[in-house]
Amino acid sequence: MSDWRAPEGWRIEVVDEIDSTNEEWKRRQPGHGRVLVALKQSAGRGRRGNVWLSEPGVGLTFSVALRPSEPKGMWPRLALATGLAVAEALGKLGIEAEVKWPNDVLLGGKKVCGVLVEAVGEVAVIGIGLNVNAVDLPEGLEATSLRIVAGREFEVTEVLGLILDRLKSRTGQIGADFPELVARLRERCFLSGKRVRLKSPSGPTEGVVQGIGDGGELLLQTAEGLQRLLQADEVRAVE
């Protein structure tokens, strides 16, 4: 495997095995631009506590630490910025990706990447898990990998470099430049026009997605009217 060269503005640390890169960065609270890559992860977490495992050369599992200058109320936008950055990085590899609000990246309607953003003190920790060279995925799992889609293996170090390059640009747009980020996100929004079921803070909801609002919220047309959702879980297209 080639060396892990970091694009400008990033410092990469690689460990052979760890429980969770997000948990380690939360424990250490490192400086801005630090990246922790785990060749093998034993207790990684996705949204809602789902386990995200990784094996060397098969998955790309890493966390970045940022110390944004924007108010913490804007930090949830980092999930949108990260999903877009990953999708754009995959485009550099000739793979067309979409973003499933708020933070999954899809290829052909199947999940290839998950994002988990957590805050501890003055640090925003962004965990990214990407299926790179996996070929045997559990049955019933609506997931895929770069290798399955493209029919070839990828060098995980190259993929990481492309993601970090786009991540630097997009995470810098959660403040004044957020309208431009949202405009690009709308172009890749997997859910637009689809009927979905989801769990919102007020309970289970179903409706047709009208797009993404100016604040990054999901616009959902329901029987009760248009809802603007800043957060939701278990978002699933039903048709």
Q: pLDDT, tens digit, for every residue of 191-213? A: 999 999 999 988 999 999 999 99
pTM beyond cutoff 0.85:
yes
Q: Indicate which CATH number applies to the domain containing 200.
A: 2.30.30.100
Structure tokens at 1: 């495997």
Q: Which parts of the chain fold into alpha helices (H)?
A: 21-28, 77-92, 146-150, 156-171, 178-187
Both 204 and 227 in a single domain? yes
Both 30 and 129 in a single domain? yes
Residues 27 and 20: their CA atoms lie apart, in Å, by 11
**Residue ranges making up the domain that contains 50:** 11-187
Both 20 and 119 in a single domain? yes
Both 54 and 95 in a single domain? yes
**pLDDT above 70 for 175:** yes
Q: Indicate which CATH number applies to the domain containing 71.
A: 3.30.930.10
- Give me the pLDDT at residue 107, please: 98
Length of the chain equals 239
- Cα 65 from chain centre: 14
Nearest to 91 by CA among 107, 78, 104: 107
Work out the pLDDT band at 185, boundaries 50, 70, 90.
very high
Both 211 and 132 in a single domain? no
State the amino acid at position 134 in one-letter form. A
